[in-house]
Amino acid sequence: MKYHLACPDISLAGIGSTQFWSGDTTKAENCLFEAINTYGITLVDTAEMYADGRCERIVGNVLASFPREKYYLLGKADPRRVQVYGLRKSLLKSLEYLKEDYFDLYLLHWREDVDLRSFVQEVEELKKEGYIREWGVSNFDIHDMQDLLSVPNGENCYCNQILYNLMTRGPEYDLLPYLREHHIMPMAYSSLGSSFVSNKPVKNNKTIQRICKENNITPEALMLSFVHRYGDFPALFSTSSMEHLRSNLDFDNFDILSYMDEIDREFPSPTHAVPLEKL
């Protein structure tokens, strides 16, 4: 099973920025720096709604230490602002906070009531002007994708960022195949379950515990490895712990495919359509 191949600039694991919202920001900044500097992560995800631009400012401060080709910057527009002020305003403000000239990928964070025809027209103009290399959407279920692809240039959508992890396999039934058919790259967010939803069902599962022990990896590394099992689309996670950063990325030699029958029995792939879950 192969989806549209991710752009080679995009690392399969990406670092989110919700960890800059609260808690120990310095630790989180160090983790983002280390992820790029030591682990070769290029994909960095942020959004204008994260602490009303505060996360973008912090991400910008970290990225200022690196040459532009070292990272692949993804931003997301808040549709509630887009409806009132227009997409251009959101984009320019985010670039200002980040101290950047362009986004590698710019997404509509969720659909809300945004007019898709106008959105695509505007985002295509911003792309021509060099503010965006590619554009896409987030939290779009299959019917939203169908609506998007029915408007002029909607097929230029590059990516749909969705909630997808071992505990939330709904997209496997129809959305992931649909994206593959239309050559649109999926991107998983909250690959570890998120900081709001406990991943205890995975951590407490006896089969998962045994597999982790046999391979000397953590359940979080297994969860990331699950999203990456075909190596065809990226998965985002966030952390403000250097130890978690290291152990999460520690699955290079772990062959999850040889365990998938067992994992499927514990966390089955859906057998019917499931509405896309969102955080």
Ligand X SMILES: NC(=O)c1ccc[n+]([C@@H]2O[C@H](COP(=O)([O-])OP(=O)(O)OC[C@H]3O[C@@H](n4cnc5c(N)ncnc54)[C@H](OP(=O)(O)O)[C@@H]3O)[C@@H](O)[C@H]2O)c1
Give the nearest distance from C-beta 248 to ligand X in angstroms: 5
From the list 247, 266, 274, 277, which residue makes contact with ligand X (rule: CB under 6 A)? Answer: 247
Cβ-based nearer residue to ligand X, 35 or 263: 35
Q: Is 73 left (phi over 0), alpha (psi -120 to 50) or beta?
A: beta
Window 148 to 167, contacts with ligand X (CB under 6 A): 161
Residues 211-230 within binding reach of ligand X (CB under 6 A): 218, 220
The string of DSSP codes covering 90-150 is HHHHHHHHHT-S-EEEEEES--TT--HHHHHHHHHHHHHTTSEEEEEEES--HHHHHHHHT
- In three-state form (DSSP H/G/I as H, E/B as E, the rest C), the secondary structure along 8-73 is CCCCCEEECCHHHCCCCHHHHHHHHHHHHHCCCCCEEECCCCHHHHHHHHHHHHHHCCCCHHHCEE
Question: Contacts with ligand X in 122-151 (CB under 6 A)?
Answer: 138-139
Shortest approach of ligand X to residue 152 CB, angstroms?
A: 25
> Given candidates 151, 241, 266, 277, which one binds ligand X under the rule CB under 6 A?
241
244 sits near ligand X (criterion: CB under 6 A): yes
Q: Which residues make up the interface to ligand X (CB under 6 A)?
A: 16-19, 45, 109, 138-139, 161, 189-195, 218, 220, 236-241, 244, 247-248, 279
